[in-house]
Structure formats: C-alpha cells, structure tokens
C-alpha cells in the first residue's frame, strides 16, 4: 500500500463510509411498482414508493417495444461520441421532438440529467467571463457543480425568495451579463418555484434564464411539457433543461433553447463532446415515451389523484410533509437514525420500500422519507401505504404535526 493510499484509508471516519446503504432491487417488467429485493435471508417482493419513474413509462409497452426494435436494428451501443461515429437518427429525432415539445428552436442530448446541467452550465455561466449567476440555494448538486466549473461569480438567493433575488439583482452592475438558474419542482421538498415572478425579474434586469424542469416534464402542463408550460410562460425561459430518467422512464438529459445557444453548448461543452453518446435504443425508448405522453392525459391524471389522496391521508394522520405543491411527498423525520429505522421497518413489516434521505442530499437535521407515489399505484396501494406509515410513525414516536407545533411554541416562549 502506498503512503498516500494508507493515509487516505486511515483518515476516513466511519461516519464518512457508513452513512448510506443501498437496497438491491430488480423491477418486475410490466408489473411496476412491484420489484424483487435482495434481503439478508434471500429475495422478497416489495412495493416501490421512492422511484423517479413517476408515470411508469419505464415499463410502458410502447417504450419497451421501441427499445427492443432499436436493439434489434442497431445493437446495444452507439459506437462513439456524437462527433465521431455516435450520432444515430434516433438521437436526431429525439432532439427534434424535445425542442418541439418545449417550443424551442433546438435541443441537445446528454448522457444524464447531471451531465446536462453540469455540461451546459459550465459553458453558459462562464460566457462571457464577467457573467454574474443568481442561483436558488436549494438547486441540485449538478447545477452547483456546473456553476463551480464555469468560474462565474455567484449570488445565491434564499429558496424561492423573490424579494431576496430582486435585491441581489438590484445590487449588481446593470451592465454585467446575468444568468438566473432555478428549478421548477424541487426534488427534496416538492415545492414549486414562483416562475412568473422570477421571469418578471429576469426581463426587468435583462437576465438570461435557465430552468431545470427535471421533476416536472411529463407530469405537468399541456402535453406534459412542464410547469412553465402549465403556467403559459415557457417562452419566457430561455433554456429548459430536462431528463429522460424520470417522467420518461429511461436515462439521459437534455437542454432546449435558442439554436445559437444550443450549438454553442454542442461545440464547447466537454461533457457532451468527450463522451460516448447514449445507446440508440435508449433514445428510441425516450422518443416513444415523449410521443405517448404528448397525447395521453391518463398517466398525469392518475399520478395527481394518487398524490392528492396521499397528502390528505398523511394530513389526517398528523404526519408532517414539506409541501403539497407536487407529486413528491417528503415526510419530515429530522433525525438520521430515526429516518433509517422507519425505512427499515417499512421494508421488514410491510415489504414497502422508501429510501431514507440523509446528508448530503439534505441538510443534517432535515432527514426525510422521500415518498413518490406513481401513476401505477392503485387507490388501495395508497391507503395501505398511508396506514403502514402512520403505524411506524407512532411506534417510533416520530414527531407529528401537533408535536412539532407544540415544540415550536415552547421554544418561542422560552426566547
């Protein structure tokens, strides 16, 4: 062992290496949310309640048929980067469909949503080099990394705080190029940004806008084009960023926007230029998913019904959750050990899989169970899940809404 490796292995603390545990699951094709999970005594069937495949498109017959057909026609991989032998007609068709979906001139595919944010923002936030970026404090790690890599000057505004953003913009040199970066639906809180107000500020200060719609595309708006489309203001956001891995059920990411901007990213983003392109079969599956969702309201309607029912049942049980704005239901635990214990009991007692979310995905003290009802859960599934969670909440004495209010009132009285 080298001196460096020995130093590395001896300085890592147990807390740094044992904070996360992964459950090995195999989703059952055509039967989602059912999956087979490996547990200490073998395998068991579980119901998945934390998947990002919100609409079940990863199991949809049209998507599976498109993937199978493309594999039979083109093989498993793309064979190269987009620039060198790796651009298939499936990629081109998908980019055209995504651009049209969002009402933009062009779109560009990346290997993942993370790569799309990191790769696009690295070049967009850094051009011109005196650009000042305004970023919501709860933006995803991929956004944070892209802004870091850009070298741009950053101004972080408080989460969804339009007043704070307005003050930061007003304090900035009016002549400086400005970029506002935000998400529509936030992944850990499930709340929705005040898009119209932020668009107003962007226009007032001449700022370019970059909107991450990862947790919204497919689920909201006309044809599932996202929250900005739902509010009729998609044209007020210069760049829409999305993923193929959530509402579309496959894998990959993209940006859509003005042709000149997209071409600039295509030419200069290292995350795009220097990597093998996604398999044609993946692009074909995503294309089938987009086309289906543009013409079908059934999946969106079912997801909304399940989310609204779960919100009501958790309210009735006194289980606190961060927001009822969206389909993401983040049950607030606030303790790392308790959160992991609740997740383990759901699996052991009820064969329900919900992953405990801890730092660094959330701040210490904000640990939660990130619950994701899907369009494929039944009404009975939702009721049984809420009942199981309420029982575990009681058994572990996790603070309820009334307990939290009482503690807050006591703390205020002491102050």
- Among 365, 295, 291, 296, smallest CA distance to 332 is for 365
10 Å CB burial of residue 402 (0-12, 13-18, 19+) is exposed
Cβ atoms of 48 and 35 closer than 8 Å = yes
Model pLDDT for residues 74-100, shown as the tens digit of each residue: 999 999 999 999 999 999 999 999 999
What is the Rg, in whole angstroms, of the alpha carbon atoms belonging to the chain?
22
pTM of the model: 0.94
- Residue found under tokens 């969106």: 300
Question: 10-19, 111-120, 312-321, 402-411 — which is least confidently predicted?
Answer: 10-19
Cα 223 to Cα 178, 237, 256, 307, 414: the distances in Å are 31, 18, 16, 19, 52
257 φ/ψ angles, rounded to the nearest 5 degrees = 180, -160
Q: State the pLDDT confidence band at 14, using cuts at 50, 70 and 90.
A: low
Question: 12-26, 315-329, 330-344 — which is least confidently predicted?
Answer: 12-26
Return the DSSP state at 277: P
Model pLDDT for residues 361-394, shown as the tens digit of each residue: 899 999 999 999 999 999 999 999 999 999 999 9
Model pLDDT for residues 249-267, shown as the tens digit of each residue: 999 999 999 999 999 999 9
Residue 246 known to be catalytic: yes
Q: State the pLDDT confidence band at 402, using cuts at 50, 70 and 90.
A: confident
To the nearest 10°, report the CA torsion of 310, 311, 313, 319: 120
Q: What does the mean pLDDT of the chain come to?
A: 94
Distance of alpha carbon 205 from alpha carbon 320, whole angstroms? 38
What pLDDT does 5 receive? 67
Residues 6+ apart with CB under 8 A from 172: 132, 155, 178, 205
Q: State the pLDDT confidence band at 237, using cuts at 50, 70 and 90.
A: very high
**Which member of 246, 259, 340, 383 is catalytic?**
246
Partners of 39 in the beta sheet? 42
């Amino acid at each position: 062992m080298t001196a460096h490796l020995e130093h590395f292995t001896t300085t890592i603390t147990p807390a740094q290496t044992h904070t996360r545990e992964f459950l090995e699951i195999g989703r059952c094709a055509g039967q989602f949310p059912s999956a087979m999970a490996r547990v200490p005594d073998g395998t068991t069937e579980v119901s998945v309640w934390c998947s990002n495949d919100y609409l079940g498109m990863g199991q949809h017959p049209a998507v599976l048929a498109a993937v199978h057909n493309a594999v039979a026609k083109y093989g498993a991989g793309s064979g190269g980067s987009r620039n060198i032998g790796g651009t298939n007609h499936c990629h081109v068709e998908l980019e055209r469909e995504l651009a049209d979906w969002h009402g933009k001139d062009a779109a560009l595919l990346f290997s993942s949503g993370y790569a799309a944010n990191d790769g696009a923002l690295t070049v967009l936030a850094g051009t011109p080099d005196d650009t000042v970026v305004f970023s919501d404090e709860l933006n995803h790690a991929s956004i944070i990394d892209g802004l870091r890599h850009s070298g741009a000057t950053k101004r972080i505004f408080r989460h969804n705080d339009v007043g704070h953003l307005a003050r930061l913009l007003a304090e900035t040199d009016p002549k400086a190029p400005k970029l506002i970066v935000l998400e529509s639906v936030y992944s850990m809180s499930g709340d929705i940004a005040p898009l119209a107000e932020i668009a107003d500020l962007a226009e007032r200060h001449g700022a370019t806008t970059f909107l991450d719609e990862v947790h919204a595309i497919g689920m909201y708006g006309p044809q599932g084009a996202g929250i900005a489309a739902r509010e009729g203001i998609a044209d007020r956001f210069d760049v829409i960023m999305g993923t193929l891995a959530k509402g579309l059920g496959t894998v990959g990411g993209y940006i859509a926007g003005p042709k000149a901007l997209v071409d600039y990213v295509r030419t200069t983003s290292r995350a795009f230029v220097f990597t093998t392109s996604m398999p044609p079969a993946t692009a074909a599956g995503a294309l089938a998913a987009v086309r289906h969702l543009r013409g079908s309201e059934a999946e969106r309607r079912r997801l909304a019904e399940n989310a609204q029912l779960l919100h009501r049942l958790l309210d009735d049980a006194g289980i606190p959750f961060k927001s009822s704005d969206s389909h993401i239901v983040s049950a607030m635990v606030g303790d790392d050990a308790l959160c992991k214990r609740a997740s383990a009991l759901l699996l052991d007692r009820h064969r329900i899989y919900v992953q405990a979310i801890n730092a660094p995905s959330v701040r210490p003290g904000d640990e939660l169970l990130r619950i994701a009802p899907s369009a494929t859960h039944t009404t009975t599934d939702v009721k049984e899940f809420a009942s199981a969670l309420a029982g575990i909440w009681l058994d572990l004495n996790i603070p309820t809404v009334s307990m939290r209010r009482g503690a807050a009132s006591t703390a205020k009285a002491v102050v």
